[in-house]
């Protein structure tokens, strides 16, 4: 009687996956829960060729729903255990580089050093885009290309941040008022708003209250829809 072959594994999402293997096994045995979660986030969001992720502590705290002080302690732990190297350039921006022992890919030094700012911009857009609860996406190749286009057009990170903020505000109003569950699935949703946030008639004082309002609406939506994406 012929032997039956094992069924072939089929990925639900053919792109965007990460090679989590022996490196993850090593990391989980030495890191605290918070530090391991941060390590996993850096692996998933980092550049596959360099093992680097550019972000701020506040951005990481927002994505991981933790206090900035807790994230800072987790970064210290990752450095102390030589899991990551954290480069601080004096400002709020930092670069997390996962050490070779805990990175499953062969690192490649970029041949074109001028491309690094573009890559960092794309990674930062990725973190901002995936952070809100009203976004349910995987940052596709199309999203990455769009982020590159924004960089090449001279769109600033502040404009992207504000476009995401304004777009989320509109989405949460729609979700809460109309009781809809349709999430945002593409960066294009926010890219279409970039021009609006650059209008000279919008005062600087508009953005901080809007940020607080979006936070409240997000919490209200998550409380009312605990099983939603």
Look up the CATH number of the domain holding residue 78. 1.10.10.10
Do 96 and 138 belong together in one domain?
no
pLDDT at 106: 80
* 11: in domain: no
- Of 51, 154, 52, 134, residue with least CA distance to 93: 52
Instruction: Answer left, alpha or beta for residue 165, where phi above 0 means left and psi between -120 and 50 means alpha.
Output: alpha
Q: What is the domain range of residue 206? A: 112-229
* 8: in domain: no
Do 62 and 118 belong together in one domain?
no
* Alpha-carbon Rg for the chain in angstroms: 19
Domain boundary among 55, 90, 109: 109
pLDDT at 131: 87
- Of 46-50, 58-62, 101-105, 124-128, least confident by mean pLDDT is 46-50
Domain boundary among 109, 141, 161: 109
Domain boundary among 93, 109, 125: 109
Do 201 and 227 belong together in one domain?
yes
* Average of per-residue pLDDT across 18-29: 80
Do 117 and 227 belong together in one domain?
yes
- Of 5-19, 32-46, 133-147, 165-179, least confident by mean pLDDT is 5-19
What are the structure tokens assigned to 18, written together?
């990460």
Do 139 and 225 belong together in one domain?
yes
Task: Tell me the per-residue pLDDT of 4-19, one tens digit each, with 9 for 90 and over.
Answer: 566 776 666 666 666 7
Q: What pTM did the predictor assign?
A: 0.54
* 2: in domain: no
Do 87 and 48 belong together in one domain?
yes
Quote the number of domains for the chain.
2
Do 104 and 130 belong together in one domain?
no
- Of 96, 193, 111, 92, residue with least CA distance to 150: 193
């Amino acid at each position: 009687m012929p032997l039956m072959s094992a069924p072939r594994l089929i990925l639900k999402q053919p792109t965007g996956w990460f090679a989590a293997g022996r490196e993850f096994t090593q990391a989980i045995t030495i890191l605290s829960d918070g530090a391991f979660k941060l390590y996993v986030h850096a692996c998933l969001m980092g550049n596959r060729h360099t093992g680097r992720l550019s972000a701020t502590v506040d951005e990481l705290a927002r994505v991981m729903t933790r206090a900035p002080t807790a994230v800072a302690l987790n970064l210290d732990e990752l450095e102390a255990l030589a899991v990551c190297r954290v480069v601080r350039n004096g400002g709020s921006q930092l670069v997390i580089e996962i050490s070779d022992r805990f990175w499953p890919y062969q690192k490649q030094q970029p041949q074109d050093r001028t491309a690094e700012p573009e890559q960092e911009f794309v990674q930062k857009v990725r973190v901002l885009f995936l952070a809100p609860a009203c976004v349910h996406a995987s940052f596709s190749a199309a999203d990455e290309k769009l982020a590159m286009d924004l960089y090449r057009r001279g769109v600033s990170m502040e404009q992207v941040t504000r476009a995401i903020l304004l777009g989320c505000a509109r989405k949460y109003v729609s979700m809460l008022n109309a009781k809809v569950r349709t999430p945002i699935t593409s960066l294009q949703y926010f890219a279409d708003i970039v021009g609006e946030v650059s209008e000279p008639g919008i005062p600087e004082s508009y953005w901080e209250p809007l940020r607080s309002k979006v936070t409240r609406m997000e919490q209200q939506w998550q409380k009312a829809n605990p099983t939603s994406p």
